Chain A
Amino acid sequence: MSPLLEISGLRIATSGRLPVVDDVSLEIARSEVLAVVGESGSGKTATARATIGLLPPGLHVSSGSIRFDGREIAGLPHAELRSLRGPGIGMVFQEPMTSLNPALTIGGQLTEALALHGVSRAEQRERALAMLTRVGIQDPAQCLGAFPHEFSGGMRQRIMLASAMLLRPKLLIADEPTTALDTLTQADVLDLMVDLTREHGTAVMLITHNLGLVARYAQRAVVMQSGRVVETGDAAALLTTPRTLYTRALVEAMPRRMDARPPVPPSPVIEARGLTVAFGGRRRFFTLGRAVTAVDQVDLTVHQGETVALVGGSGSGKTTLGRALLRLVNPTAGEIRFQGADITRLTGQQLVPFRRACQIVFQDPFSSLDPRLRVQAIVAEPLRLMPDRSLDQVARMLAAVGLTGFERRFPHELSGGQRQRVAIARALIRNPAFVVADEPVSALDMTIQKQILALLRQLQRERGFACLFVSHDLAAVEEVADRVVVMQSGRIVEAGLRDAVFDRPQHAYTQALLAASPRLPTLTG
Chain B
Amino acid sequence: MFGYALRRTLSAIPTLVLVAISVFVLLRVVPGDPALLILGDAASAESLASLRRSMGLDLPLWQQFSHWIARVLVGDFGTAITNGQPVLPLIIDRFSVTAVIVLLSVLLASLVAVPLGMVAAWRQNSATDLAVIAGSTLLLSVPSFWLGLMLLMLFGVWLQWLPVVGYVGFGENAAIALTFIIMPVVTLTLIEIGQLTRMARAATIDVLRLDYVAHARAKGLSEGVVLFRHVLPNAFAPTLSLIGVILGNLLGGIAVIETVFTLPGLGRLLVDAIFQRDYPVVQGCMLFIAAIYIVVNLLIDLAYPWFDPRVAVE
**Cβ of A374 < 8 Å from any Cβ of B?**
no
CB distance from B5 to the nearest CB of A (A): 12
When A102-B234, A104-B229, A285-B7 are in contact, do A93 and B214 touch as well, CB less than 8 Å? yes
- Mask: chain A, 150-176; 1 = CB below 8 Å from B; 0 = not: 100000000010011001000000000
Q: Are B313 and A91 in contact (CB under 8 A)?
A: no
Q: Are B222 and A82 in contact (CB under 8 A)?
A: yes
Q: Are B307 and A85 in contact (CB under 8 A)?
A: no
When A82-B222, A285-B10 are in contact, do A100 and B215 touch as well, CB less than 8 Å? yes
When A285-B7, A285-B10 are in contact, do A101 and B222 touch as well, CB less than 8 Å? no
**Cβ of B217 < 8 Å from any Cβ of A?**
yes
Q: Are A87 and B220 in contact (CB under 8 A)?
A: yes
Number of B residues whose C-beta is below 8 Å from A?
30
**Cβ of B212 < 8 Å from any Cβ of A?**
yes
- Mask: chain A, 114-153; 1 = CB below 8 Å from B; 0 = not: 0010000000000000000000000000000001011000
Q: Which A residue's beta carbon lies closest to that of B125?
A: A57
How many angstroms from the CA of A164 to the CA of B220 in the assembled complex? 10
Q: Are A98 and B212 in contact (CB under 8 A)?
A: yes
CB distance from A313 to the nearest CB of B (A): 23
Q: Are B310 and A99 in contact (CB under 8 A)?
A: no
- Mask: chain B, 92-107; 1 = CB below 8 Å from A; 0 = not: 0000000000000000
**Cβ of B156 < 8 Å from any Cβ of A?**
no
Q: Are B219 and A103 in contact (CB under 8 A)?
A: no
**Cβ of B211 < 8 Å from any Cβ of A?**
yes
Q: Are B234 and A103 in contact (CB under 8 A)?
A: yes
Within 8 A of B (CB), among A475-489: none
Dominant SS at the B interface? Answer: helix
Q: Are B216 and A91 in contact (CB under 8 A)?
A: no
**Cβ of A322 < 8 Å from any Cβ of B?**
no
How many angstroms from the CA of A95 to the CA of B214 in the assembled complex? 12
**Cβ of A255 < 8 Å from any Cβ of B?**
no
**Cβ of B210 < 8 Å from any Cβ of A?**
yes
Instruction: Choose among B124, B216, B233 the residue with the greatest number of A CB atoms under 10 Å from its CB.
Output: B216
When A112-B225, A149-B309 are in contact, do A100 and B219 touch as well, CB less than 8 Å? no
Q: Are B7 and A284 in contact (CB under 8 A)?
A: yes
- Mask: chain B, 149-178; 1 = CB below 8 Å from A; 0 = not: 000000000000000000000000000000
Question: Cβ of A116: which chain B residues have Cβ within 8 Å of it?
Answer: 219-221, 225
Q: Are B214 and A54 in contact (CB under 8 A)?
A: yes
**Cβ of A52 < 8 Å from any Cβ of B?**
yes
**Cβ of B230 < 8 Å from any Cβ of A?**
yes
How many angstroms from the CA of A284 to the CA of B310 in the assembled complex? 17
CB distance from A282 to the nearest CB of B (A): 9
CB distance from A239 to the nearest CB of B (A): 30
**Cβ of B18 < 8 Å from any Cβ of A?**
no
Question: Cβ of A103: which chain B residues have Cβ within 8 Å of it?
Answer: 233-234, 237, 307-309
Q: Which A residue's beta carbon lies closest to that of B217?
A: A54
Within 8 A of B (CB), among A39-95: 52, 54, 57, 78, 82-87, 89-91, 93-95
Residues in chain A within 8 A of chain B (CB atoms): 52, 54, 57, 78, 82-87, 89-91, 93-95, 98-104, 112-113, 116, 147, 149-150, 160, 163-164, 167, 284-286
Q: List 16 A-B contacts (CB under 8 A).
A: A54-B217, A83-B220, A85-B219, A90-B218, A91-B215, A95-B211, A98-B211, A99-B211, A101-B215, A102-B234, A112-B216, A112-B229, A113-B219, A116-B221, A116-B225, A284-B7
List 18 additional contacts besides A104-B230, A285-B6; criterion CB under 8 Å: A52-B218, A57-B124, A82-B221, A82-B222, A85-B219, A91-B215, A93-B215, A99-B210, A101-B212, A103-B233, A103-B307, A112-B216, A113-B221, A116-B219, A116-B225, A149-B310, A164-B218, A164-B219
Residues in chain B within 8 A of chain A (CB atoms): 3, 6-7, 10, 124-125, 210-212, 214-223, 225, 229-230, 233-234, 237, 307-310, 313
